[in-house]
Amino acid sequence: MAGNSFGRIFKITTFGESHGKAVGVVLDGCPSMLELSEEDIQRELDRRRPGQSEITTPRNEKDEVVILSGVFEGKTTGTPICMLVYNQDYRSKDYSKVKDLFRPGHADFTYYQKYGIRDYRGGGRSSSRETIGRVCAGAVAKKILGKLGVSIYAYVKQVGNIVAENIDLNEIENNPVRCADKEAAKKMYDYILDVKKRGDSVGAIVEVVVKGVPVGIGEPVFDRLNAEIAKAIMSIPAVKGIEFGRGFQVATLHGSENNDEITRDGFVSNNAGGTLGGISTGEDLIFRFAVKPPSSILIPKRSINIYGAECEVVTEGRHDPCVAPRVVPIAEAMTAIVLVDLYLIDRARKNIF
Amino acid sequence: MAGNSFGRIFKITTFGESHGKAVGVVLDGCPSMLELSEEDIQRELDRRRPGQSEITTPRNEKDEVVILSGVFEGKTTGTPICMLVYNQDYRSKDYSKVKDLFRPGHADFTYYQKYGIRDYRGGGRSSSRETIGRVCAGAVAKKILGKLGVSIYAYVKQVGNIVAENIDLNEIENNPVRCADKEAAKKMYDYILDVKKRGDSVGAIVEVVVKGVPVGIGEPVFDRLNAEIAKAIMSIPAVKGIEFGRGFQVATLHGSENNDEITRDGFVSNNAGGTLGGISTGEDLIFRFAVKPPSSILIPKRSINIYGAECEVVTEGRHDPCVAPRVVPIAEAMTAIVLVDLYLIDRARKNIF
Amino acid sequence: MAGNSFGRIFKITTFGESHGKAVGVVLDGCPSMLELSEEDIQRELDRRRPGQSEITTPRNEKDEVVILSGVFEGKTTGTPICMLVYNQDYRSKDYSKVKDLFRPGHADFTYYQKYGIRDYRGGGRSSSRETIGRVCAGAVAKKILGKLGVSIYAYVKQVGNIVAENIDLNEIENNPVRCADKEAAKKMYDYILDVKKRGDSVGAIVEVVVKGVPVGIGEPVFDRLNAEIAKAIMSIPAVKGIEFGRGFQVATLHGSENNDEITRDGFVSNNAGGTLGGISTGEDLIFRFAVKPPSSILIPKRSINIYGAECEVVTEGRHDPCVAPRVVPIAEAMTAIVLVDLYLIDRARKNIF
Amino acid sequence: MAGNSFGRIFKITTFGESHGKAVGVVLDGCPSMLELSEEDIQRELDRRRPGQSEITTPRNEKDEVVILSGVFEGKTTGTPICMLVYNQDYRSKDYSKVKDLFRPGHADFTYYQKYGIRDYRGGGRSSSRETIGRVCAGAVAKKILGKLGVSIYAYVKQVGNIVAENIDLNEIENNPVRCADKEAAKKMYDYILDVKKRGDSVGAIVEVVVKGVPVGIGEPVFDRLNAEIAKAIMSIPAVKGIEFGRGFQVATLHGSENNDEITRDGFVSNNAGGTLGGISTGEDLIFRFAVKPPSSILIPKRSINIYGAECEVVTEGRHDPCVAPRVVPIAEAMTAIVLVDLYLIDRARKNIF
């Protein structure tokens, strides 16, 4: 209800602003007796952190996690797990220029209108640093899924007009773009670098493939697996669309083409992308989402300030020219959180009678 | 948590199966003192009901609503509004043949796996008759929005390869396709009729435009306006994707193209589709979603039955060749419910100090 | 959030006004494959219905339940169960006199202040007829608990100064007071009848004993078993207090007296009333609650009308002189709903690793 | 759903164990533009902290709060407020003796049964140090209520058989017992000291009076003001009962005595304790609750260890002989949180049409 929580039985509440003291999360509802260490979390945070390569922001933060509660002698106790990352390398001065401005494409305008006040430093709460908390909780969720035999693979599918076509899921972590196609990855890398040099930014499409999802996950009619995933992914900054299975292509398909037939050996195809009626089929869960080009660019754009005066905005500071490589672990985290939450809800009522 | 409720402060809970006694909704949290009659509801239900034209299912049900509670002397009292439609023209016999079968593309398989039992008649709970409850509650939400100066227009944008291009929002209700382009509507109509004659079905894309949305609606970071809309729309049967503003196109755009500039006269463009940081900007809220071709077709497809034996399935009965015309009021209903819910949540905390 | 729902994973939403078309409930989250019939529900409703004896209201309603959804071929399907009772023997005319008045002790004043409108007929939504929906859902919960070996016994402990002392749980349903002490029951009966003749009413205390509660039910720190029970019971009209185990007596006890010792054979005493730290111990869950004397009496009391004018109010119509006998099944219902809800939540995360 | 959150639109999530790194809270949904400093919080924490006098535990912790997020330049921004207190003066060694024991009266047994693991140091999560988070959030709630003209007074009403009778709300903070009766306070103090010397503990009753509650707060039928308060208070460790207005006395009252009459000048009496139908009347909200004697005593009691072997337990360490003085600010905090939450919910839908 209050906006900063997600999930029901496996629930996260994130907090923190970009240039405040810390960002973090409280994960409530994690089952007890799961081995958990700060290393488990750090591994995922390192995939999200800035400064990983030439194509991510040079803001150099280690983003070291501290577990404040919920773990005792290396195991979860069933009590809330609070995980924190203290903010360090912030240069709030970079933002004094934009203090009273509404940067185009950013949430400055809407936060100011809604709350009458905003922490203008680094985007405040609307900064993607908020997603650190998600990645921390997602690391726990992924560990649980691992024990259930579920694996999540997210990778960059498209940047500009460059599309990954020869998909090899083992390739993802071998290149800084996190693209599953080695050749496409190189092209994307060069392209992003070029865009960066021009002081501009570019959008992308990310695909997520989840293997090993048990049959029966998802709670119709509103809390469908695909509906929950849609909300989770759309809540990530910069995401503008999501589609499952054949996605928007279905507009041109016939039922005779799109219906997935079933034989004794299982589903013959997976146009549905892994759900029917909002419940997992046991096939791979497959979806794609689009991220917009980052709004922070060096190319001047028109805007107004809080007093209504017109001005020109150039967003200096250190920014990502393309969010795709760093949004991959965030999407995995949100996907994992949805899956654990719906898995536990299904488990609650399963096979009682 | 239990899956059949949506919304927080303006909350709906739907119930009912396709061939059970009734389908309906409890709307909890409607403000008091709103004039409300069964006619207000019926008007919207009539837009959703079967048998409207040659291109919708001939199942002939009047779908007459009864308000059981929450309204006194023509006004809402602030107590829960229960609205019911009794099922009438069902021919459960049509379904005896598919009793033990998993119809391809339908939720038969997943419901059976999840619950160990399913009401096989007409899809049971997974039938789109469930959406009657949504349309009833949506009618109330639309009435509230009307008082706030908000108008929702949904229309069919694409069927097969036919795309609406000369958009005229006043045209929508003038043609049975609910397309906003008169010429495209005719082509779509003929095309759907042709598909129907072949015993097949076809998908579509629907666009939703909301005018007059107040600035500030949406609760970051998870309950963003676009994230809530995404969940709401994705929870509608047959929906496979959703995108806001420029949507999936953003993959190929640069920040310098995609950022919406602001002048003293407001936003210069609306690539964002009406939200920034998950909060409404005051510009039109614009999104599109894709619906798959209906799974019920006369063309035989392979499947298995609950005992694992292979079989061929032909879905007789009376079905829609394309859900687009009837999904329009459902999408409007869900959009209206999200907007009222988030509007009230924003209102709760607005301008206290 | 919207006030008319209770429970999370086993969730009820009640609706309906005293003199509207119907009262009822949607129960969402009931596990599938539970045998369920209208007789199962009716049995509990018959314990709650008016006109059972001389000491309950003579309003003569059969309160016949209809199951509208969620049950197929005698079993629950995992989809929402809507249960309705149509209102019949209402005499709205009885209420025309009090249309503009605020009856002392009733919620007339507060509903009018809160909503600006009220259905004055029979108390509208604030009538205890609302609890019909609770009893319907509670019947389902009790059936589930029965399968888990859990039994709930509620009985009248005190009416006026008459206190049940020789407790025999088998006696409860043998007398119209629902007192567990045969001799006290007779005295209570006579006393209530006497109070009734004087046009007055009287309060009571009810005790609830639950046997067979599994260890581990309750979710600290807020959703403790005792905290959830407290909310559930306090939400019943007329309830003014609740206490667990030794209850208010603990004020005068020492830790050396109150701590329940444990031996190899289990707990030596049960001063705690069945919970420690908000989690069930496996001992009997024991609590008591107090119900006020019904506010509808024939003795004139001062009040004002909606225009602020002073007046005298005599509540004619047909009313209970003491709610105790009829509140027993309501308390059992709410207790059962809490237990099933928390049991399922515990089950969701239990023994995964 | 996950147990460690309370409230809907003004929602708290607490975390932390007694001897872990920190305890704290995330407060989500606080309106923006409220002046807030760490001093505002510290003032309330100082009332709760140990070591205040001879009759509280000598554990000497300053309990200094740090605000990690949600406040910018001295004002709330509408984003989540995370408040932390780092644990300092813990002596975990004191607990090594009870590592494998179930201390009588404590939650050791139930936590171990529920989770299969427990942080045995100082009670872990079941320690009343958890309530630090509540007091932090409550300080914010009280500040909001202050702006609305609402004041909360909680005080010790009874300890053992000593009852406060000459109530003076200004006296409460003048004595270490937090009793509103100066003379009774002295007797209580001496009595608690005596109990402490004997290595024992004693229970108490606390009364809460809230002045200035607006009419109309509370959401029937489940989220009534009194039901929410009951849950909130019962979720505080050691609370065993709660009653409103005349409370358990109503069992012996007649309607003709208990109904509060109304005249042009308002309610003539307040037997109801400030609510009718679960909605505030505008009269003082009045309730009392009972706290049990602390379970940690020096008098040996029988118990078993986790292997089932019998043993004798003496709870050394530093403990409160009576929780009453320190539970007062906790009760105020929970009351304030409920009131703000329900106030905001009411505000959301108020006077729209």
Residue A325: Cβ within 10 Å count: 28
Query: Helix (H, G, I), strand (E, B), or coil: what is residue A64?
Result: coil
Name the DSSP class of C31.
P
pLDDT for B127-157, tens place per residue? 999 999 999 999 999 999 999 999 999 999 9
Asked if D301 lies within 8 A of C261 by C-beta distance, the reply is yes
Buried b (16+ CB within 10 A) or exposed e, D250-287: bbbbbbbbbbbbbeeeebeebbbbbbbbbbbbbbbbbb
- Chain B residues with CB under 8 Å of D74 CB are none
- Chain B residues with CB under 8 Å of D81 CB are none
* pLDDT at res. C99: 87
Annotated binding site of A for NADP(+): 48
- Determine what percent of chain D falls in helix, strand and coil, rounding each to the nearest 5: 35, 25, 40
pLDDT at B293 over 80: yes
Closest-CA distance, D8 to chain B, in angstroms, reads 9
Which chains are adjacent to chain C, needing at least 3 Cβ pairs under 8 Å?
A, B, D
Asked if C124 lies within 8 A of B77 by C-beta distance, the reply is yes
* pLDDT at res. B61: 80
- Chain A residues with CB under 8 Å of B125 CB are 220-221
Q: Which among A198, A336, A208, A327 has a CA at the least distance from the CA of A274?
A: A208
C-alpha torsion B32→B34→B36→B42, nearest 10: -110
Asked if B352 lies within 8 A of D8 by C-beta distance, the reply is no
Is D280 known as a binding-site position?
A: no
Closest-CA distance, C61 to chain D, in angstroms, reads 23
Which chains are adjacent to chain A, needing at least 3 Cβ pairs under 8 Å?
B, C, D
Asked if C290 lies within 8 A of D221 by C-beta distance, the reply is no
The answer to whether the CB of A280 falls within 8 A of the CB of A213 is: yes
pLDDT at A85 over 70: yes
Asked if D72 lies within 8 A of A11 by C-beta distance, the reply is no
pLDDT (tens digit, 0 to 9) for every residue of chain C, 353 residues total? Answer: 789 999 999 999 999 999 999 999 999 999 999 999 999 999 999 999 888 888 888 777 889 999 999 999 999 999 999 999 999 866 666 677 788 999 999 999 999 999 999 899 989 999 999 999 999 999 999 999 999 999 999 999 999 999 999 999 999 999 999 999 999 999 999 999 999 999 999 999 999 999 999 999 999 999 999 999 999 999 999 999 999 999 999 999 999 999 999 999 999 999 999 999 999 999 999 999 999 999 999 999 999 999 999 999 998 767 899 999 999 999 999 999 999 999 999 999 999 98
Gyration radius of chain D over CA positions: 21
Residue C88: Cβ within 10 Å count: 12
pLDDT at A94 over 80: no
pLDDT (tens digit, 0 to 9) for every residue of chain D, 353 residues total? Answer: 799 999 999 999 999 999 999 999 999 999 999 999 999 999 999 999 888 888 888 777 889 999 999 999 999 999 999 999 999 866 666 677 788 999 999 999 999 999 999 899 989 999 999 999 999 999 999 999 999 999 999 999 999 999 999 999 999 999 999 999 999 999 999 999 999 999 999 999 999 999 999 999 999 999 999 999 999 999 999 999 999 999 999 999 999 999 999 999 999 999 999 999 999 999 999 999 999 999 999 999 999 999 999 999 998 767 899 999 999 999 999 999 999 999 999 999 999 98
Closest-CA distance, C353 to chain A, in angstroms, reads 6
Is D18 known as a binding-site position?
A: no
Asked if D77 lies within 8 A of A10 by C-beta distance, the reply is no
Q: Which among D145, D38, D43, D46 has a CA at the least distance from the CA of D83?
A: D38
Asked if D352 lies within 8 A of B29 by C-beta distance, the reply is no
Asked if A33 lies within 8 A of C353 by C-beta distance, the reply is yes
**Residue to test with chain C: of D57, D156, D248, D345, most C Cβ within 10 A:** D248
Annotated binding site of C for NADP(+): 48
Closest-CA distance, B113 to chain A, in angstroms, reads 6
The Cα–Cα gap between D223 and D219 comes to: 5
Host H or E run for residue A205: strand A204-211
* pLDDT at res. C90: 64
D197 class by beta-carbon count within 10 Å (0-12 exposed, 13-18 middle, 19+ buried)? exposed
Domains with residue ranges and CATH for chain A = 5-349 (3.60.150.10)
Gyration radius of chain B over CA positions: 21
Asked if C353 lies within 8 A of A8 by C-beta distance, the reply is no
Give the model's confidence band at B32: pLDDT under 50 very low, under 70 low, under 90 confident, else very high.
Answer: very high
Closest-CA distance, B23 to chain A, in angstroms, reads 13
**Residue to test with chain D: of C129, C235, C349, most D Cβ within 10 A:** C235
Please give the structure tokens belonging to residue D210. Answer: 């809230």
Closest-CA distance, C34 to chain B, in angstroms, reads 11
- In this complex, how many residue pairs, one in chain A and one in chain C, have their CB atoms less than 8 Å apart? 52
pLDDT at B92 over 80: no
The Cα–Cα gap between D238 and D249 comes to: 23
**Residue to test with chain C: of D113, D233, D262, most C Cβ within 10 A:** D262
pLDDT more than 70, % of chain B: 98
Annotated binding site of C for FMN: 125-127, 277, 292-296, 318
The Cα–Cα gap between A321 and A203 comes to: 9
Q: Say whether pTM exceeds 0.90.
A: yes
Residue of C nearest to D281 (CA): C110
Residue of C nearest to B24 (CA): C82
Q: Average pLDDT of A58-70?
A: 90
- Chain B residues with CB under 8 Å of A220 CB are 3-4, 107, 111, 125-126
Asked if B69 lies within 8 A of C8 by C-beta distance, the reply is no
Asked if B252 lies within 8 A of A6 by C-beta distance, the reply is no
Among the partner-chain residues C5, C228, C260, the one whose CB lies closest to the CB of D104 is C260
pLDDT at B316 over 80: no
Asked if D353 lies within 8 A of B147 by C-beta distance, the reply is yes
Is the bond preceding A209 in cis, omega lying within 30 degrees of 0? no
Asked if D252 lies within 8 A of C203 by C-beta distance, the reply is yes
Closest-CA distance, B73 to chain A, in angstroms, reads 32
The Cα–Cα gap between C284 and C287 comes to: 10
Is D214 known as a binding-site position?
A: no
- Chain A residues with CB under 8 Å of B3 CB are 219-223, 345
Asked if B124 lies within 8 A of C22 by C-beta distance, the reply is no
Asked if D2 lies within 8 A of A68 by C-beta distance, the reply is no
pLDDT at B91 over 70: no
Q: For residue B39, which amino acid is it?
A: E
Asked if B349 lies within 8 A of D78 by C-beta distance, the reply is yes
Strands D5-6 and D71-72: unpaired
Side-chain half-sphere CA neighbours of A10 within 13 A: 30
Closest-CA distance, A98 to chain B, in angstroms, reads 15
* pLDDT at res. C60: 74
Closest-CA distance, C142 to chain A, in angstroms, reads 14
Asked if B158 lies within 8 A of A251 by C-beta distance, the reply is yes
Among the partner-chain residues A2, A9, A26, the one whose CB lies closest to the CB of D29 is A2
- In this complex, how many residue pairs, one in chain B and one in chain C, have their CB atoms less than 8 Å apart? 163
- Chain A residues with CB under 8 Å of C34 CB are 352-353
Q: Which among B341, B351, B335, B350 has a CA at the least distance from the CA of B218?
A: B341
pLDDT for A150-207, tens place per residue? 999 999 999 999 999 999 999 999 999 999 999 999 999 999 999 999 999 999 999 9
pLDDT for D312-352, tens place per residue? 999 876 789 999 999 999 999 999 999 999 999 999 999 99
The Cα–Cα gap between C101 and C204 comes to: 27
- Chain D residues with CB under 8 Å of C137 CB are none
Please give the structure tokens belonging to residue B179. Answer: 């397309």
